[in-house]
Amino acid sequence: MKNCRFGVFGFPVSHSLSPAMHTAAFNALGMTDCEYKAYAVEPENLKEAILKAQAEGFGGLNLTIPLKEKIFETDLIIPDAFAEKAGAVNTLTFKDGRIYGYNTDAAGAFAALEEAGCQTDGKKILIVGAGGASKSISLFFAERGNSVKIINRTAEKAQRLADEIAEKTGNSNVSGSGFESGWNDLKEADIIIQTTELGMGKYEDVSLFDKLPLLKTEQKEEMIRSCVSKKTVFDIVYNPEETTFLKESKAAGAETMNGMMMLVFQGALAFEIWTGKKPDIGVMRKAVSDALL
Ligand code: ATR
């Protein structure tokens, strides 16, 4: 057994790309004594599994679905301010008998946008979806002072989330609604971030554009062009195949990006929290794209 141990807890977790990504990062830094593995941990066993990892001297852990929120029920961790507000933790460290919690997902999304050359300062951001991923990303940009509009299939969920974020950040330019005003919301936005499961492997690959009400179907292509042309459209899904939503956006002249670099950067930020070292982003990216093939 290696004496520098890391891992990801999730349920299910077998599909996780994190072991390949972190192992490549450790190897590239010559940290061959370190290992990173995926562990299937059922939500009801989370507390016990974390305490076991702590007792065994783990250096740190990632948490993924459905444990990011569940961790708050264990009373084990000291979350940082952002993770506390987001109500979700994806990174744990063990230090001096204490367990600290962080959330690197939204900072990963931000780093991916920056790397793609997308300037976000002062931009109007449209977030599609009102689940956990939307919450972290919306909160992150609201804290940075961006105008944030959240649209979601279930309008009340978007409104509730927007109200919560506006209250937590003091940013009054945060609002939420259903899909009924979707075309107009797309038109007004500078950057569009799709956070729902639409287009993910196990779901049918229906584009967001097909969920928005149109008077006539023939208008669709023209509407897409007038709404997204020359804008950044970011879909946090990281299928090897681009989602229909991204393909349609690209065809209409948008700068498009998928979730692969968000995955890489959230991992890189966790790696830095654990080790104090900056991992090689190119090596991590290659490990993820090879694993996706
Ligand atoms: P996550 O934590 O991954 O963000 P989640 O909390 O399960 O996921 O939230 C899923 C999001 O995807 C929600 O915004 C959900 O919309 P509803 O709030 O209306 O349920 C959205 N979603 C899932 N399937 C969808 C579909 N077929 N069409 C539109 N939105 C969908």
CB-ligand 1 contact for 197 (6 Å cutoff): yes
Residues 139 and 152: their CA atoms lie apart, in Å, by 16
Does 68 share its domain with 165? Answer: no
Residues 274 and 40: their CA atoms lie apart, in Å, by 21
| Amino acid in position 7 | G
Does 218 share its domain with 242? Answer: yes
Ligand 1 atom nearest to 158, measured from its CA: 18
8 Å CB contact between 165 and 142: yes
Give the three-class secondary structure for 251. Answer: helix
Ligand 1 atom nearest to 133, measured from its CA: 4
Ligand 1 atom nearest to 157, measured from its CA: 18
CB-ligand 1 contact for 199 (6 Å cutoff): no
CB-ligand 1 contact for 153 (6 Å cutoff): yes
If one counts the domains in the chain, the total is: 2
Does 112 share its domain with 245? Answer: yes
Does 93 share its domain with 117? Answer: no
The residue whose CA has the least distance to atom 14 of ligand 1 is 129
Does 250 share its domain with 136? Answer: yes
Predicted local confidence at residue 90, as pLDDT: 98
Using the 8-state DSSP alphabet, how is residue 126 labeled? E
101 closest CA partner among 203, 17, 9: 9
Cis peptide before 12 (omega within 30 of 0): yes
Predicted local confidence at residue 106, as pLDDT: 98
Other Cβ atoms closer than 10 A to 244: 18
For the chain, which ranges sit under pLDDT 70? 1, 201-203
Does 113 share its domain with 245? Answer: yes
Does 226 share its domain with 181? Answer: yes
The residue whose CA has the least distance to atom 9 of ligand 1 is 131
Specify burial of residue 57 (Cβ count, 10 A radius: 0-12, 13-18, 19+).
exposed
Predicted local confidence at residue 218, as pLDDT: 87
Q: Which residue has the tokens 């940082």?
A: 80
Gap from CA of 196 to ligand 1 centroid (Å): 5
CB-ligand 1 contact for 134 (6 Å cutoff): yes
Does 120 share its domain with 251? Answer: yes
Does 234 share its domain with 116? Answer: yes
8 Å CB contact between 18 and 284: no
Does 248 share its domain with 266? Answer: no
- Could you tell me the CATH number of the domain that includes residue 8? 3.40.50.10860
Helix or strand (DSSP H, E) at 41: none
List Cβ neighbours of 238 (8 Å cut-off, separation of 6 or more).
258, 259, 260, 262, 263, 288, 292
3-state secondary structure 173-201: CEEEECCCCHHHHHHHCCEEEECCCCCCC
Gap from CA of 197 to ligand 1 centroid (Å): 6
Is 68 catalytic? The answer is yes
Helix or strand (DSSP H, E) at 235: strand 232-235
CB-ligand 1 contact for 154 (6 Å cutoff): yes
Predicted local confidence at residue 201, as pLDDT: 64
Does 147 share its domain with 254? Answer: yes
| HSE of 204, CA atoms in CB hemisphere, 13 A | 5
Predicted local confidence at residue 1, as pLDDT: 64
- Could you tell me the CATH number of the domain that includes residue 158? 3.40.50.720
Gap from CA of 9 to ligand 1 centroid (Å): 22
How many residues are present in the chain?
Answer: 293
CB-ligand 1 contact for 194 (6 Å cutoff): no
Question: Which ipTM did the prediction report?
Answer: 0.96
Q: Which of 37, 47, 68, 277 is catalytic?
A: 68
Domain of residue 130 covers 107-258
Per DSSP, helices labelled H in the chain are: 18-28, 46-55, 67-70, 81-86, 105-115, 132-143, 155-169, 182-188, 220-228, 244-251, 260-275, 281-292
The phi, psi pair for 261, rounded to 5°, reads: -75, -25
Does 73 share its domain with 91? Answer: yes
CB-ligand 1 contact for 195 (6 Å cutoff): yes
